[in-house]
């Protein structure tokens, strides 16, 4: 059993519980990771306050606080600025990719996603960060 505290903590943010389970299961193939989940932007930020987060998988279209606002908040504050963010969103507006990347998202993936690809992207970001 690896030491809990040395595991990379991935915060999965999506308002759909089904989607969160899909993402978490997809990331299950990665080594030395654990995941935490949040159902809204506000909850995501609360998680950041409570525990160290090593990477975020973030949906955009959510109630309360849009994913874009989460990116802006995270990138604006020193303590969280370096957390890698993978945006994982259902394709709806073409402009959102440019917008999200400009705001500071590291990667932009669309749903339906390929579980292997998601795990690869997350895995490589964790290695380089």
Partner 1 sequence: MDKPNPDNRGEFFDQFLDDYYTECDEHLVSIRRSLVVLEDDVNTYALDRTLLDNLFRSFHTLKGISGMVGLAAAEQLAHHLESYLRELREGTVVLTQSGFEALVAGVSLLEGVIHARRNDQPIPSIDQLVERLQAISVDSVTSEAPAATTETRENDSTITRWQVEFTPTAELAERGVNVNSVRARLQEIGQVLQAKPVVKGAGEIAFEFIVAADVDQTAVASLETDGLTFQPAPVEREPRTREILPTPMIAPASVVRVDLDRLDELMRIVGDLVISRTRLDDQVAELKRVTPPAAWRSLQEVNLTMGRQLRDLRESVMRVRMVQIGEIFERMTFVVRDLARENGKKIIVQLSGGETEIDKFLVERMMDPLMHLVRNAVSHGLETVAEREAQGKRSEGVLLLSAMTAGERIVIKIADDGRGIDRGVVIERAKPKGLNPENAEIDDDALLNLICTPGLSTRDEADRESGRGVGMDVVKKATEDLGGRISLSTRIGEGTTFTIELPLTLAIAEALIVSVNGQRFAVPQSGVREVLEVESASTRVLENNEIISYRGKVLPLIRLTRIFEMNHQRGEKFHVLVVGEETNAVGLAVDRILGQREIVVRAIKDPLAQSRGIAGATELGDQRVVLILDISALRQLAVTSRH
Query: Smallest distance from the beta carbon of 102 to partner 1, in angstroms?
Result: 21
How far apart CA 120 and CA 27 sit, in angstroms, is: 9
Distance CA 4, CA 73 (A): 28
Minimum Å distance from CB 33 to partner 1?
A: 14
| Closer Cβ to partner 1, 77 or 129, answer by number | 77
73/77 Cα distance (integer angstroms): 7
Closer Cβ to partner 1, 2 or 28, answer by number? 28
Consecutive H or E run containing 97: helix 95-103
Q: Which residues contact 32 (CB under 8 A, 6 or more apart)?
A: 2, 6, 7, 8
Q: What minimum distance in Å lies between the beta carbon of 114 and partner 1?
A: 7
Enumerate binding residues for partner 1 (CB under 8 A). Answer: 15-19, 21-22, 25-26, 28-29, 39-40, 42-43, 45-46, 48-51, 61-65, 73, 77-79, 90, 92, 111-116, 119
Please state, as a whole number, how many other Cβ atoms lie within 10 Å of the Cβ of residue 45.
Answer: 20
Residue closer to partner 1 by CB (options 15, 99) is: 15
CB 78, min distance to partner 1, A: 6
E strands, 62-121, are 85-90, 107-111
């Amino acid at each position: 059993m690896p030491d809990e505290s040395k595991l990379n903590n991935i915060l999965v943010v999506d308002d759909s519980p089904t989607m969160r389970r899909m993402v978490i299961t997809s990331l299950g193939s990665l080594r030395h990771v654990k995941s935490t989940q949040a159902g809204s932007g506000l909850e995501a930020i609360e998680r950041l306050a409570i525990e160290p987060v090593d990477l975020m998988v973030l949906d955009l279209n959510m109630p309360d606080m849009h994913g874009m606002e989460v990116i802006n908040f995270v990138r604006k504050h020193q303590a969280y600025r370096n957390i890698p963010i993978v945006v994982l969103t259902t394709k709806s507006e073409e402009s959102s990719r440019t917008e999200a990347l400009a705001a500071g998202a590291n990667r932009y993936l669309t749903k339906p996603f390929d579980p292997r690809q998601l795990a690869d992207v997350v895995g490589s970001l964790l290695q380089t960060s």
